């Protein structure tokens, strides 16, 4: 494990693929991380209604030496309590809005703050040199791909995105090494996107991936990867998403490309003039 990685981020990003036992332990930790620092392994096991062996396996699954290391990492993040997940309830509407806001701010902060010029500048060069940019995502994540295609086209970069996997796959087949594939997936485990990446690599097309996990199959297969953070939960405790974090990454790339060449603003203005005819 990279000790610079926030353990809260790591637990959140692994949650969707955890076993039922690991999810029980994770939820206890995420609901009150600072309290776990003072727990024994038996106390955490009892709180999660699992065995102490399950807690040990949980730590091992996160690439930790053991429970003691987990407590050390939680203690190191204890000063960042505002970044912890906040439970939302309609019992207190005002408090719920504040908690949702805190969750979203934490997602964006933990997505953008780790980025640096060494990671972003090569990605910007790929975008600028690409003949065509294909942006692929599926399900609830597809709006991010659609937003990216809209933004890139606005500033002069030909980009495509389609919600149909069959059509997207056909598009990938027609890419060349002068193009770029951007794959967006929360879990990083989409079989369809992995198929597209395989084809892209066969055609020597560079691949940029946005996922919640650095060790996900899509992240590992991509040439470039940006990790998105997650803090929000909806409906069921097992369901996590970070569409806002992925959208923020696209927004960052969009704004940096404009900063790189302010003349790209003229393309946005021209596009806005064309679509203004639709408005009353």
3-state secondary structure 210-226: EECCCCCHHHHHCCEEE
- pLDDT of 149-188, one tens digit each? 999 999 999 999 999 999 999 999 999 999 999 999 988 8
DSSP 176-209: -TTSEEEEE-SSS--HHHHHHHHHHHHTT--EEE
| CATH class (in words) of the domain with range 111-278 | alpha beta
Quote the percentage of the chain above a pLDDT of 70.
89
The alpha carbon dihedral of 180, 211, 16, 102 has a sign of: negative
- pLDDT of 222-257, one tens digit each? 999 999 987 765 544 444 556 889 999 999 999 999
* Residue 278 vs residue 42, higher pLDDT: 42
Q: How far is CA 259 from the centre of its chain?
A: 24
Who's near 180: CB < 8 A, 6+ residues apart? 126, 127, 130, 132, 133, 134, 205, 206, 207, 208
Low-confidence winner among 66-80, 100-114, 122-136, 265-279 (lowest mean pLDDT): 66-80
Q: What is the mean pLDDT of the chain?
A: 87
Confidence of residue 212 (pLDDT cuts 50, 70, 90): confident
The Cα 180–Cα 277 span in angstroms is: 33
Confidence of residue 79 (pLDDT cuts 50, 70, 90): low
Q: Angle 215-195-174 (CA atoms, 0-180°, nearest 5)?
A: 130
pLDDT of residue 4: 40
The Cα 246–Cα 261 span in angstroms is: 23
- pLDDT of 12-62, one tens digit each? 878 878 899 999 999 899 888 888 988 899 999 999 999 999 999 999 999
Q: Is 210 helix (H, G, I), strand (E, B) or coil?
A: strand
The Cα 242–Cα 239 span in angstroms is: 11
Residue 86: left (phi > 0), alpha (psi -120 to 50), or beta?
beta
Spell out the domain ranges in the chain.
Answer: 7-84, 111-278
- Report pTM: 0.74
Query: Which residues, listed in sequence order, are joined to residue 232 by a DSSP beta bridge?
Result: 241
Quote the percentage of the chain above a pLDDT of 90.
59
CATH number of 7-84: 1.10.10.10
Q: Considering only CA atoms, which of 4, 227, 7, 228 is closest in space to residue 104?
A: 228
DSSP class of residue 228?
Answer: P
The Cα 59–Cα 22 span in angstroms is: 9
pLDDT of residue 236: 44
The Cα 222–Cα 194 span in angstroms is: 9
Whether 7-84 and 111-278 share one fold: the answer is no
């Amino acid at each position: 494990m990279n000790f610079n990685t926030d353990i809260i981020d790591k637990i959140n990003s692994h949650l969707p693929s955890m076993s039922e036992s690991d999810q029980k332990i994770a939820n206890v930790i995420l609901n009150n991380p600072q309290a776990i620092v003072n727990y024994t392994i038996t106390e955490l096991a009892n709180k999660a209604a699992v065995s102490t062996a399950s807690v040990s396996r949980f730590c091992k699954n996160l690439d930790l030496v053991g429970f003691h290391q987990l407590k050390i990492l939680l203690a190191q993040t204890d000063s960042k309590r505002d970044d912890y997940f906040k439970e939302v309830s309609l019992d207190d509407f005002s408090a719920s809005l504040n908690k949702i806001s805190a969750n979203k701010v934490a997602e964006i902060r933990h997505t953008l703050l780790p980025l640096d010029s060494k990671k972003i500048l090569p990605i910007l060069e790929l975008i600028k040199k690409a003949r065509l940019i294909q942006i692929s995502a599926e399900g609830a994540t597809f709006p991010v791909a659609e937003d990216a295609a809209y933004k890139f086209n606005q500033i002069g970069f030909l980009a495509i995105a389609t919600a149909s996997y069959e059509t997207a796959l056909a598009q990938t087949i027609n890419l060349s090494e002068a193009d770029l594939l951007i794959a967006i997936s929360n879990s990083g485990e989409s079989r369809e996107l992995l198929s597209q990446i395989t084809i892209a690599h066969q055609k020597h097309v560079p691949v940029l991936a946005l996922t919640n996990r650095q060790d996900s199959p899509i992240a590992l297969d991509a040439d470039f990867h940006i990790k998105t953070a997650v803090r929000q939960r909806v409906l069921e405790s097992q369901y996590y998403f970070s569409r806002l974090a992925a959208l923020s990454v696209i927004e960052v790339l969009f704004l940096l490309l404009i900063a790189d060449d302010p003349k790209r603003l003229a393309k946005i203005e021209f596009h806005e003039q064309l679509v203004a005819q639709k408005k009353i």
